[in-house]
Structure formats: structure tokens, C-alpha cells
């Protein structure tokens, strides 16, 4: 008879080897706890010891249908036996229907498929420049982005990403980028001239600490982009496809962007990004100007199409709104109990909790208590659970989060954390000012 205890310890030993090999052979780009996740179901992940974790990180806003969703698994199994890849020199059965659905959701006209968020950003920057070159004199190349932005790690995307730590080590970057203070209309007006070919923004900044673009700022960006024949680009890679309770975060504004970017949740955890554009801009691409070997393959597109159908058919916009409201109310209550919590920000299932101190110790304590969250901008705890999250799980999360806030050893406010709050305040973010006062 096999000894079950022995097989468990053998398994643990082999995961020990997995971790040692990762530490020895992987490029040094991530700092990870000594934990291997082996499987998941719904909103729960399991580690190598079989321990369960309630997931309020969702693969950083990717796993919108949680883990092993039956409809995605069925689609994957079916398509894996048919066609995983076919060259973009030919049609595949799912690209057209997926593009049609994305166009319908967004109000855009044409779609380009890529493999990641950063690649969708690259496609948008290239399209905006190509359009400007086709219609204007050579100097129309400037790209405006916002302070605190995050658009990805490729050269183009990192050139329009604000924090210096992402840009500085890789200089010289793609020329032509300029940053505008967050929600500062006067600064936007001062920097917007005839040389601008695009202005790009996340309607809700994710890595930047869950900060929402104001209606006034959006409207002025729209006006200036139209006036100067530049593209207004909405990076909805983190906030889009239902997380706010709407298909896109920008849909609360009266006006539309010219280009929309999505990725993270689009194919339920498989790598897929998309750039959608209005015909006026999209027509600047002609065959051969841009492309991708893998982008929009049949397997990922079939899964993405199924993902969008599940969101529509299972009422997940409403779930994001309703569970988001419960989450928000609970977080507000917690903020009243702990003086180092200065603000709750966000919309729907994209919420941030601003602390007056470094957040990593809270993330570690949450992990010890079987809760997955993370921290952005050093002092903002980020909560981006799957769209299928249930009321009982939001309740469970809030109970555990209260214990995390109560039990985590307090550190002194870090200079960097206070600095982040101060720069938000300088950017005209009035809620940030509240945080600054509290941080003092």
C-alpha cells in the first residue's frame, strides 16, 4: 500500500526543487514568496500544500471568471483539438466574430489583435503616428501621457509610463513623450499644441494607485484632440471589459475616445490584447505596416469570445456594480476604524485603500491569512477580484481584511509613501490632499 503521507512529503520536496530552480535560473525580474500555486476553482486558488486562498488580486485583474470556469474550459478543450494556431496570412473562425463583438461593446470600428497589453499600446502609438504622418507635416509626433501612468514594459509603452524606476535604466527611450499632471486641465492645455499626435490615459489608473480621471479633464482632452486632429487613446487594459460595471470605464463620459486598448481579462487568462480604433484612424494602417505572428490566434479568440458571452449572459456587469458597492461600503467602514487608512478610491470591482505607510507588510499578513491582494505605489492596497465574486466572498474578504489591518505590525510612514500622497495632492487630486493631512 502506498503511504499517502510519504507521497505528500515527496510532492512538497519536488516543489522545493521547483522554487530552487526558479530562484537559480529565472531572470531577476520578480520578488516572489516561497509558494507555488497549483490549481484554482472559482475565486479560490490552492498552493502546493493544498491551502486555499481567497483571490482579490485575480492574476492582477486578469482572471475575471476566476479559475477553471466550465465554459472556458469546454471551449479550450474543444479548440485545442481543432486549431491552436494558423498564420495571420489567413482567416480563422473566431477573429472576425470577436472583432465584431469588441467593436459593438466599444463603439469603435476596427480591431487589431496582439498578445499583451503592452503590444496593444505599441499598436496604438504606431497607428497615431502613422495617421499623423499621412495627414500632416513631419513634426506631428508628440505623445502626451499622464503622471502616475502605467502602460507596459516595451520601449514605446515604457516611454509613456511615468515612474522613473521603469524608464531610467533603459534610456534612451522612444522620443516625443511628454507628461501632463494628473487631472490638471491647465497643464494639459499648456502642453497640447499642433505637434501632438496622441494623448493617452487610463480612465482609472491601476498601477498608479487606483485614481480616476475627472470628467472635466476627459472632456477637455477630447476637445483638444479633436481641435488638433490628434488621437484620444483610452488604455482600458486594467479597468475595462466590465470591471467598473460598464463595458468600459470611459462610458460614463459623454464623449468617446478614438482608440481603445484592452488585454488582461480578454481571454480569461490566456494572452491576448486588442487595439480598437475609429475608422478615421484605423484607415492609416495598410497591409504590411503592422502585424503579429501569434496575435489573435484561433484558440485565444475562441476563448475570448466565450468570455465576452459569459459576461453578457451571466449579468456580470450588474454583479461588478452590486458586489463592487458592497465591497466599497465595507472598505469605507474599515477606513473609519483605522486611522492609517486615509481614503478608499475606485469603481466597481477596482478598489484601492490608501495607507499612510508602506503596504507590503499588509499584503504579507493577508497572504498568511489566506487572502491574495497586492500593493501599488507603495502605499495603496489594491483589490481587483474576479467579476464572478459572490456576496458571501465579499463578506469573508472584509472580515479577513479587518483582521489584517488590526494585526499587521505598523511601520512608520515611509518617505516614499508620503511623497506619493504629496505628488497626488500637487496634481490637484483633492482626495489626495485628505490623505496628506492624515499622513501628517
Which spans of this chain sit near ligand PLP (rule: CB under 6 A)?
A: 116-118, 121, 150-152, 202, 206-207, 235, 237-238, 263
If the CB atoms of residues 160 and 188 are measured against ligand PLP, the closer one turns out to be 160
Whole-angstrom Cα distance, residue 323 to residue 301? 28
Catalytic pick among 150, 248, 281, 362: 150
For residue 72, the minimal CB distance to ligand PLP (Å) is: 19
Look at the block and give the residue holding cell 502605499: 379
Q: What is the full DSSP assignment across 11-74?
A: HHHHHHHHHHHHHHHS-S-----S--EEEEEBTEEEETT--EEEESSHHHHT-TT-BS-HHHHH
If the CB atoms of residues 121 and 267 are measured against ligand PLP, the closer one turns out to be 121
Whole-angstrom Cα distance, residue 157 to residue 81? 35
Whole-angstrom Cα distance, residue 376 to residue 360? 9
Would you give the DSSP letter of residue 169?
G
Asked whether the beta carbons of 192 and 229 are under 8 A apart, the reply is: no
CB-side exposure of 36: number of CA atoms within 13 Å? 16
If the CB atoms of residues 121 and 277 are measured against ligand PLP, the closer one turns out to be 121
Whole-angstrom Cα distance, residue 63 to residue 153? 21
Residue whose Cβ sits closest to ligand PLP? 117
Does the active-site annotation cover 248?
Answer: no
Q: At what angle do helices 95-106 and 298-313 cross, to 10 degrees?
A: 40
Look at the block and give the residue holding cell 487630486: 429
Other CB atoms within 10 Å distance of the CB of residue 386: 30
The alpha carbon of 163 is separated from its chain's Cα centroid by a whole number of angstroms, namely: 16
Does the active-site annotation cover 264?
Answer: yes
Collapsing DSSP to helix, strand or coil, 226 comes out as helix
Does the active-site annotation cover 387?
Answer: no
Catalytic pick among 264, 307, 317, 362: 264
Phi, psi torsion values for 381, nearest 5 degrees: -80, 135
For residue 264, the minimal CB distance to ligand PLP (Å) is: 6
Grid cell, residue 244, equals 467598473
For residue 118, the minimal CB distance to ligand PLP (Å) is: 3
Query: Cα-atom radius of gyration of the chain, to the nearest Å?
Result: 22
For residue 1, the minimal CB distance to ligand PLP (Å) is: 48
For residue 204, the minimal CB distance to ligand PLP (Å) is: 9
**CA dihedral over 436, 437, 438, 440, signed as positive or negative:** positive
If the CB atoms of residues 304 and 341 are measured against ligand PLP, the closer one turns out to be 304
For residue 47, the minimal CB distance to ligand PLP (Å) is: 24
Catalytic pick among 47, 235, 258, 429: 235
For residue 269, the minimal CB distance to ligand PLP (Å) is: 12
Whole-angstrom Cα distance, residue 33 to residue 158? 26
The catalytic residue positions are 150, 235, 264
Amino acid at each position: 500500500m502506498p503511504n499517502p503521507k510519504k507521497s505528500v512529503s515527496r510532492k512538497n520536496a519536488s516543489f522545493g526543487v521547483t522554487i530552487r530552480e526558479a530562484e537559480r535560473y529565472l531572470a531577476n525580474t520578480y520578488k516572489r514568496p516561497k509558494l507555488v500555486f497549483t490549481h484554482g476553482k472559482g475565486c479560490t486558488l490552492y498552493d502546493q500544500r493544498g491551502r486555499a486562498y481567497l483571490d482579490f488580486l485575480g492574476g492582477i485583474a486578469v482572471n475575471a471568471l476566476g479559475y477553471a470556469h466550465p465554459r472556458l474550459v469546454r471551449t479550450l478543450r474543444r479548440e485545442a483539438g481543432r486549431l491552436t494556431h494558423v498564420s495571420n496570412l489567413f482567416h480563422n473562425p473566431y477573429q472576425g466574430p470577436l472583432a465584431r463583438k469588441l467593436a459593438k461593446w466599444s463603439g469603435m470600428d476596427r480591431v487589431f489583435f496582439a498578445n499583451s497589453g503592452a503590444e496593444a499600446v505599441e499598436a496604438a502609438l504606431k497607428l497615431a503616428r502613422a495617421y499623423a504622418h499621412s495627414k500632416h507635416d513631419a513634426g506631428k509626433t508628440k505623445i502626451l501621457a499622464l503622471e502616475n501612468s502605467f502602460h507596459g514594459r516595451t520601449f514605446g509603452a515604457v516611454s509613456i509610463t511615468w515612474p522613473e524606476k521603469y524608464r531610467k535604466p533603459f534610456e534612451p527611450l522612444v522620443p516625443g513623450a511628454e507628461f501632463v499632471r494628473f487631472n490638471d486641465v491647465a497643464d494639459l492645455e499648456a502642453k497640447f499644441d499642433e505637434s501632438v499626435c496622441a494623448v493617452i490615459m487610463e480612465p482609472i489608473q491601476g498601477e498608479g494607485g487606483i485614481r480616476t480621471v475627472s470628467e472635466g479633464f476627459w472632456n477637455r482632452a477630447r476637445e483638444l484632440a479633436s481641435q488638433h486632429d490628434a488621437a484620444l487613446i483610452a488604455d482600458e487594459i486594467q479597468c475595462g471589459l466590465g470591471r467598473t460595471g460598464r463595458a468600459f470605464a470611459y462610458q460614463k463620459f459623454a464623449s468617446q475616445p478614438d482608440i481603445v486598448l484592452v488585454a488582461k481579462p480578454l481571454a480569461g487568462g490566456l494572452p491576448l490584447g486588442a487595439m480598437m480604433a475609429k475608422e478615421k484612424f484605423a484607415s492609416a494602417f495598410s497591409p504590411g505596416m503592422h502585424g503579429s505572428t501569434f496575435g489573435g490566434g484561433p484558440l485565444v479568440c475562441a476563448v475570448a469570445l466565450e468570455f465576452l458571452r459569459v459576461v453578457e449572459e451571466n449579468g456580470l456587469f450588474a454583479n461588478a456594480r452590486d458586489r463592487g458597492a458592497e465591497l466599497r461600503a465595507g472598505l469605507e467602514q474599515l477606513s473609519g476604524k483605522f486611522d492609517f487608512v486615509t481614503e478608499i478610491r475606485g469603481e466597481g470591482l477596482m478598489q484601492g485603500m490608501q495607507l499612510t505607510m508602506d503596504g507590503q507588510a499588509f499584503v504579507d499578513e493577508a497572504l498568511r491569512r489566506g487572502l491574495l491582494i497586492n500593493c501599488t505605489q507603495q502605499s495603496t492596497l489594491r483589490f481587483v477580484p474576479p467579476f464572478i465574486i459572490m456576496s458571501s466572498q465579499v463578506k469573508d474578504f472584509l472580515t479577513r481584511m479587518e483582521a489584517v489591518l488590526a494585526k499587521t505590525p505598523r511601520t512608520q510612514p515611509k518617505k516614499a509613501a508620503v511623497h506619493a500622497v504629496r505628488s497626488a495632492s500637487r496634481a490637484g487630486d483633492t482626495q489626495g490632499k485628505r490623505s496628506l493631512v492624515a499622513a501628517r
